[in-house]
Amino acid sequence: MKIKKFSISCLITITLLMVTGCASKPNLKTVWLEYNHAENALGDKLDRTSNPVGDYAEYIVAKSYDGERYKSGEKSYDVKVVKNDKTLKYQVKARKLKNTTSTALGGIRSWDFDYLIVVLFDQKGKIIKALEVPVKIAKNDYAKKDKYKKVWVITTTKDFLHDPRSNDITEQLK
């Protein structure tokens, strides 16, 4: 798998630089090029391009729910699941966080889905929190209209993250 090979080669490069004394840290150009190589490899695996955090979250949700990712840019949902002749639509929002769990999620343009899935990653890419929120709760209790961007925005406040009406799916997605 390309991503694993890249990760090992990156570690070897960094280790060699540090051990040989060529640098206490890898130079910025090397890190930049390796970062872009990894991002491109991830995009190839996920069959998407512009948002690796969101694309990976959609991938793990689709895999966990035995669903299908919808085409990039669909305004109402990201993952579709068919169970017992019933179709459920999921909008997936994800963020990679640093030192906080409160963040504004990406804008919601349409409420034509059944559940909002929120996936929060730490700086190393590990899931720290994942929720399945019924659309009515997300829209009526937490969404704020951004009239300039013409979207609805939800902030992951403590109340939002601990709402007992939501389903914590953190372990399911790990």
Write out pLDDT tens, residues 117-160.
999 999 999 999 999 999 999 999 999 999 888 999 999 999 99
CATH of the domain at 169: 3.40.1350
pLDDT in the model for residue 59:
95
pLDDT in the model for residue 43:
81
Q: Would you place residue 58 in the very low, low, confident or very high pLDDT band (cuts 50, 70, 90)?
A: very high
Using CA atoms, how far apart are residues 112 and 33, in angstroms rounded to an integer?
40
Task: Note whether 74 and 157 are same-domain residues.
Answer: yes
Angstrom distances, CA of residue 23 to CA of 15, 27, 68, 167, 170: 10, 7, 46, 47, 39
Using CA atoms, how far apart are residues 80 and 93, in angstroms rounded to an integer?
15
Q: Regarding beta strands 167-168 and 127-134, do their DSSP bridges make them parallel or antiparallel, or are they unpaired?
A: antiparallel
Q: Would you place residue 47 in the very low, low, confident or very high pLDDT band (cuts 50, 70, 90)?
A: confident
Using CA atoms, how far apart are residues 149 and 158, in angstroms rounded to an integer?
25
What's the structural domain count of the chain? 2
Task: Note whether 133 and 168 are same-domain residues.
Answer: yes
Task: Note whether 70 and 139 are same-domain residues.
Answer: yes
Q: Tokens for 83?
A: 């169970």
Q: Would you place residue 106 in the very low, low, confident or very high pLDDT band (cuts 50, 70, 90)?
A: very high
Task: Note whether 13 and 82 are same-domain residues.
Answer: no
pLDDT digits (tens, 9 = 90+) for 59-98: 999 999 999 998 766 678 999 999 899 999 999 999 999 9
Q: Which domain holds residue 118?
A: 52-173
Q: How far is CA 52 from the centre of its chain?
A: 7
pLDDT in the model for residue 3:
45
Q: What percent of the chain has pLDDT over 70?
A: 83
pLDDT in the model for residue 1:
41
8 Å CB contact between 77 and 91: yes
Angstrom distances, CA of residue 30 to CA of 10, 42, 98: 9, 18, 24
Of 101, 102, 90, nearest to 132 (Cα)? 90
Taking the model in full, what pTM does it have? 0.81
Task: Note whether 138 and 110 are same-domain residues.
Answer: yes
